[in-house]
Amino acid sequence: MTVTAIYPGTFDPITNGHIDLVERGAKLFDRLIIGVAAFPSPSKKPAFSNEERLEMARTALAHVPNVEVTGFDTLLAHFVAAENAQVILRGLRAVSDFEYEFQLASMNRQLIENVETVFLTPSEQYAFISSSLVREVAALGGNVDKFVHPQVAEALAARLQK
Ligand code: COA
């Protein structure tokens, strides 16, 4: 049986923490789809456009063979069904992630049957990284080279630096 997993997120932008999780997930599943959400939760207003977030993710993940980067503008459950995926992959960095992730996984279980949410933890060196912190550091002229792919760092400097 071929197992397809979807790793959904806003990826605004993709960070080394996301990349670490994708590299781990790619070893476990036959096909791993990175689903870049055009409309994530209503409280999130992405700094980068859908196309920019897709392009940055494709560049940063070009070295991982069984990975595809695809945008989606529907309910995650509908995207999972359309791709015939069996697994939703998410990262858990700290206890603080748990409550939201538990809610998300439980809601998705109500919306689509026979799909399991699988959680992986990133390497400890990335546990503190978040896209919004990286954007904040870049906007104020800080060096983000340790946290993102070089082309993402360039895009951040071009877009956000005051
Ligand atoms: N390493 C480092 N950082 C990580 C990480 C990792 N392994 N995993 C997550 N993060 C960070 C991200 O950088 C991001 O930080 P930010 O909030 O400061 O930007 C945060 O954790 C979570 O972002 P992300 O992983 O991109 O996920 P998300 O919570 O934005 O994604 C969706 C949520 C897209 C999965 C969800 O909103 C969704 O499914 N939307 C589609 C519509 C839908 O179906 N809604 C109903 C859902 S039940």
Segment 53-107, tens digit of pLDDT: 999 999 999 999 999 999 999 999 999 999 999 999 999 998 889 999 999 999 9
Question: Is 63 marked active-site?
Answer: no
pLDDT at 117 over 70: yes
CB contact at 8 A, 20 and 119 = no
In angstroms, the CA 2 to CA 20 distance is 23
pLDDT at position 156: 96
pLDDT at position 96: 87
- Which whole-number Å values give the CA distances from 96 to 45, 100, 112, in the listed order? 21, 8, 26
Q: Atom 32 of ligand 1 has which residue's CA nearest to it? A: 9
pLDDT at 39 over 80: yes
Please report which confidence band the pLDDT of residue 1 belongs to, taking 50, 70 and 90 as the band edges: confident
Q: Is 9 in the pocket of ligand 1 (CB under 6 A)?
A: yes
In angstroms, the CA 144 to CA 142 distance is 6
Q: Which of 161, 150, 132 lies closest to 9 in space, CA to CA? A: 132
Q: What is the pTM of this model?
A: 0.94
Q: Is 79 in the pocket of ligand 1 (CB under 6 A)?
A: no
Give, for ligand 1, the residue of 130, 132, 149, 156 to mutate: max count of ligand atoms closer than 8 Å to Cβ: 130
Please report which confidence band the pLDDT of residue 16 belongs to, taking 50, 70 and 90 as the band edges: very high
Terminal-to-terminal C-alpha distance of the chain: 51
**Nearest ligand 1 atom, CA 76:** 44
* DSSP-derived pairing of the beta strands 87-91 and 116-120: parallel
Secondary structure, 3-state, the chain = CCCEEEEEECCCCCCHHHHHHHHHHHHHCCEEEEEEECCCCCCCCCCCCHHHHHHHHHHHCCCCCCEEEEEECCCHHHHHHHCCCCEEEEECCCHHHHHHHHHHHHHHHHHCCCCEEEEECCCHHHCCCCHHHHHHHHHCCCCCCCCCCHHHHHHHHHHHCC
